[in-house]
Amino acid sequence: MMQRVLTLRLAPLRVLRSRSSPSVRPAASMSSLLITQPQYSWLKELGLHEDNAGVYNGAWGGQGEVITSYCPANNQPIARVRQATVAEYEETVRKAQDAWKVWADVPAPKRGEIVRQIGDALRRKIKALGSLVSLEMGKIYVEGVGEVQEYVDVCDYAVGLSRMIGGPILPSERPGHALIEQWNPVGLVGIITAFNFPVAVYGWNNALALICGNVCLWKGAPTTPLTSVAVTKIVAEVLEHNHLPGAICSMTCGGADIGTAMAKDERVGLLSFTGSTHVGKQVAMMVQERFGRQLLELGGNNAIIVFEDADLNLVVPSAVFASVGTAGQRCTTTRRLMLHESVHDEVVERIAKAYKQIRIGDPWDPSTLYGPLHTEQAVQQYLAAAEQAEQQGGTLVCGGKIMDRPGNYVEPTLITGLQHDAPIVHTETFVPILYVLKFKTEDEAFAWNNEVKQGLSSSIFTKDMGRVFRWLGPKGSDCGIVNVNIPTSGAEIGGAFGGEKHTGGGRESGSDSWKQYMRRSTCTINYSKDLPLAQGIKFE
C-alpha cells in the first residue's frame, strides 16, 4: 500500500516486494540469531529453527536464496529461511493440482470440518503465534494475538458458510424445465500477502477458498517469512492428521521471480494480491494479459471527517487509534483528519496531547501501545514525507523525528495547515503521519474525502441522521468501507473487506466474498418430452 517509485523496466522484478520491504539482507551467522537465545526459545514451540525450509507442498524443501528475518524493534536477526526456486514453484503447482483432485471430491460441509480443525489448531498456538507476529512484523503483542484471532474467526465463519454456499433454483418460462445457478471452485488460488498482516490476510483467503473447494498456494512477504512457515506448519499438521494431501495448502517463500510466476501462471485460477497500488497495477496487468481472475486489496488514503456536532470524546480516541495503531502501517490507517472549523483547534490540541502520552516500547511488552516501523526503509520514507509536508506549507504540531532508541522507531506525527489537495496529502505514506485539514461545509468535506485516488475506508463523526444517510448514499463516500462514529481501522470479519478505485475493487472475508473464489454456471435442464424455445421463438 505504500506508493513506490519504480521504473517499468524493473517493475516485473518487483512484484513480490510488499509495501515497504527493503532488499533482502544477507544471511546472518547462527551465533547471532535471536532464536538461539533462551528468552526466545518459545519460537521452537512453533516448529521454527535456526534454518527453516521455505517451501511446502506436502513435503518441506527450499533450494533457493537464504534470507534472514529481522526484528524491527532492535534490527537483530531472528532466524533464516531458504526460499523456493522457480523449479520448486513448478513442482509445487503440479502437486497442488493433484491435491485438488482429492479435495474437490470432499463434500463442502466436510471441508468445513477441516477448516474448523485449522481454527482450533490456531487457537492452541495463538499466544506463541501472536508473539511471533509481534517479533517479526513489529506490531504490538495484543495486535499480533488479535491478528491470529481474526484467522480463527474467519475459520468459524467459513465452517457455517460451508453448509450455505450455492446458487438458487430459478423459475423457468418453459414448461418442464429447471433453471439452476451452479457454483464450482476455480481450482488453484494463489495468495500473495503483505508484511503488515502476515497471518490475517492469508486467513481471510485460505478459509474461504478451502470451503469453496479450492487448493491454495501462499507466498507471504519476504520480510515475514517465519510467520509464513509457522502458520503453514500448523495447517499442514491438520491436513496430515486427516490423511489429506499437504499440497492442499502449499507455500513458497520467494522473491520477485516467484511472484511474477504466480501472476503469469494460467494454472492459477484466482490470484489474490495484497500490497501497494503501484505493484498491484502491474500484477493486474499480468493476470489480465492471460484473462485470469484477480482479487486486489491495495492502498488506502483514508479520512475521518469531524462535524461541528460530533462527540469529541469519541473523536479523539478514534483518531489516535486509527492514525498510530500498528505505527500507521494498516491499509485502513487514518491519514487525513478533516475537522470542521468550529472544532479544529480543540481537536488538534487534544490529539497532540494524546500523542505525547502514547506508551512506546518493545512490541511484545503488554503495556506497549506503539511499536516500530517494519523496516529501516520505512523510516526514511517517514522522514521524507514529514519534510515534504513542511515544504508544502504544513505546520509540524508534534513528531517528525526518529526516536533515540534501537530499532525502527519514529515519533507519531501531527501536521496542520496543508491544503486539501497538497501533493503529500494525496500520497499514501505507510507511516504514522496524520494530516489535519480544516473545512467549512458538508459538501466540501465529502468532496475532499473522494478526491484521492484510493477508496478503501472512511468515517464521519456526527449526530445528524440526515447527514449520516447522505454519507452512506450515492453522493457520499465512494469507499468500500463507510463508517459513522467509529475509526477507519478495525473492521469486523462478517462484512466484505475491500475498496474501490485504486484500492483494487476486490472483496475478502465476510458477506458474499466467497463468490470471488468460485465460478458460476447457469444450467438449464429439460425434463419434459418437448423442446420449447425461450422468448417464444418457433423454429419448425
Same domain flag for 266 and 313: no
At residue 272, the 3 state secondary structure works out as strand
Same domain flag for 432 and 455: yes
Total tally of structural domains belonging to the chain:
2
First to last CA, the chain: 60
Does any domain span residue 533?
Answer: no
Pairing of β 302-306 and β 457-461: parallel
DSSP string of 446-461, one letter each residue: HHHHHTSSEESEEEEE
Does any domain span residue 163?
Answer: yes
pLDDT at 370 over 90: yes
What ranges make up the beta strands (E) of 243-361? 249-252, 270-274, 293-297, 302-306, 334-340
Instruction: Give the pLDDT band (50/70/90) at residue 21.
Output: very low
Same domain flag for 59 and 40: yes
Same domain flag for 236 and 137: yes
What type of residue sits at position 369?
A: L
Among the ranges given (193-202, 214-223, 239-248, 528-537), the one the predictor scored with the smallest mean pLDDT: 528-537
Q: How far apart are CA 37 and CA 63, in angstroms?
A: 27
Same domain flag for 68 and 130: yes
Task: Tell me the pLDDT of the chain averaged across its residues.
Answer: 95
CATH number of residue 251's parent domain: 3.40.605.10
Q: Alpha helix (H) ranges present in 162-248?
A: 200-211, 225-241
Same domain flag for 256 and 290: yes
Does any domain span residue 322?
Answer: yes
Task: Note the pLDDT tens digit of each residue in 302-350.
Answer: 999 999 999 999 999 999 999 999 999 999 999 999 999 999 999 999 9
Same domain flag for 253 and 367: no
Q: Which CA distances in Å does 376 have to 81, 217, 388, 432? A: 20, 29, 19, 14
Residues in CB range of 120: below 8 A, 6 or more apart: none
Q: Please indicate whether residue 139 or residue 14 has the higher confidence score (pLDDT).
A: 139
Same domain flag for 91 and 194: yes
User: Is 341 part of the annotated catalytic residue set?
Assistant: no
CATH number of residue 494's parent domain: 3.40.309.10
Same domain flag for 244 and 123: yes
Question: What per-residue confidence (pLDDT) applies to 275?
Answer: 96
Tell which of 271, 297, 323 closes a domain.
297
Same domain flag for 265 and 310: no
Does any domain span residue 470?
Answer: yes
DSSP string of 488-513, one letter each residue: SS---TTSEE--EETT-S--EESTTG
Same domain flag for 395 and 477: yes
From 65, 147, 297, 508, the catalytic residue = 297
Enclosing domain of residue 245: 34-297
Place of cell 513448478: 90
- The answer to whether residues 351 and 321 touch, using CB atoms and an 8 Å cutoff, is no
Does any domain span residue 356?
Answer: yes
Tell which of 297, 315, 342 closes a domain.
297
pLDDT at 64 over 60: yes
Does any domain span residue 529?
Answer: no
Tell which of 466, 483, 500 closes a domain.
500
Give the three cell numbers for residue 128.
506463541
Q: Is the pTM of this model over 0.85?
A: yes
Q: How far apart are CA 441 and CA 76, in angstroms?
A: 50
Question: What per-residue confidence (pLDDT) applies to 26?
Answer: 55
Does any domain span residue 536?
Answer: no
The counts of H helices and E strands in the chain are 13, 24
Does any domain span residue 118?
Answer: yes
Question: What per-residue confidence (pLDDT) applies to 471?
Answer: 99
Same domain flag for 310 and 243: no
Nearest in space to 419 (alpha carbons), one of 399, 393, 444, 445: 393
